[in-house]
Structure 1
Amino acid sequence: MVGIWVVLGVLLIGGIAGVVLRARNGRIRAAKPVERELPAPVAAALDSDAAVTLVQISTTFCAPCRHTKAILEPLAERTEGLRHVELDVTNQPEVAQALGVLTTPTTLAFSGDGTELLRIGGVPKGPAVLEALDEHLSGASSRPTS
């Protein structure tokens, strides 16, 4: 009888953990104001001409990273003022550490001057990204082009 309760308890805890992880996937969070110098690869990836640069932190064997790229790259191509850059940190863990990134994919949105605007953990939803960045893209016409 005790074995059944243990199995049910494990299933319940596993189910709750799965629901929590699924809810956190793709969640957009506002950036915390932190004074830090950007790592060189990130600073080099920023486009001062773009209103917002999305820097996707990825690793080589990350399947969700490919899905994230498939969403963000076309979104940036059809949205004025938005640029997408994928940064593979497999051999540069110090870059992820300096940015406070613990999991991949994590996407960071930066303004042209290098200010972090927001973070997205997991695979984002395109319309939600545009909605979250609307105020930052408003000067560049945040409407996707045809």
Structure 2
Amino acid sequence: MPERAGVRRLGAAELGAGLGRRATLVQFSSAFCQPCRATRRTLAEVAAMIEGVAHVEVDAEDHLALVRELEIERTPTVLVLDAEGRIVRRATGQPRRVDVIAALGHAVG
């Protein structure tokens, strides 16, 4: 299926890790971000609960070009990608587990 015009896809080259078979939770973090630690735990727990979902953490300081392109303004920022790497949901701040699961519903159909 060809990529739709204007739809940005993310993949292993940009993220430094492969995508999940069904969906991917991408977390942009920074070294001294306290909410990032709790977000890491939440996303890892959800990814472990749902088959085919991966959690990828990206150090915002090490990926400044991608941060600028995606207009990431604060950490943590979480992107939910579908199986093709398209961004289907985006949130800033520390997410609740129930909200992450609900957002994954939009990615896995």
Output the TM-score relative to the length of structure 2: 0.81
Report the counterpart of residue 114 of structure 1 in structure 2: 85
Report the counterpart of residue 124 of structure 1 in structure 2: 95
- Structure 1: tracts of 5 or more residues without a match: 1-32, 139-146
CA distance in 2, matches of 1:37, 1:137: 16
Q: Counterpart amino acid of 1:108?
A: L
Aligned-pair distance for 1:62? Answer: 0.9
Aligned-pair distance for 1:37? Answer: 5.9
Contact 2:24 2:81 in 1 (8 A): yes
Asked if 1:41 corresponds to 2:14, the answer is: yes
CA distance in 2, matches of 1:99, 1:46: 19
Contact 1:81 1:137 in 2 (8 A): no
Alignment partner of 1:88 out of 49, 54, 59: 59
Q: Residues 58 and 34 (structure 1 numbering): CA distance in 2 closer, same or farther, change over 3 Å?
A: farther
Paired-residue identity, %: 34
Q: Counterpart amino acid of 2:79?
A: L
Tell me the secondary structure at the aligned position of residue 107 of structure 1.
strand
Q: Which has the higher helix share?
A: 1
Q: CA RMSD in A?
A: 2.2
Report the counterpart of residue 72 of structure 1 in structure 2: 43
Q: Counterpart amino acid of 1:45?
A: A
How many residues are treated as equivalent by the alignment?
Answer: 104
CA distance in 2, matches of 1:35, 1:136: 15
CA distance in 2, matches of 1:37, 1:71: 24
Q: Which structure would you say has the larger Rg?
A: 1
Aligned-pair distance for 1:106? Answer: 0.2
Tell me the secondary structure at the aligned position of residue 128 of structure 1.
helix
Aligned-pair distance for 1:134? Answer: 1.8
Output the TM-score relative to the length of structure 1: 0.62
- Structure 2: tracts of 5 or more residues without a match: none
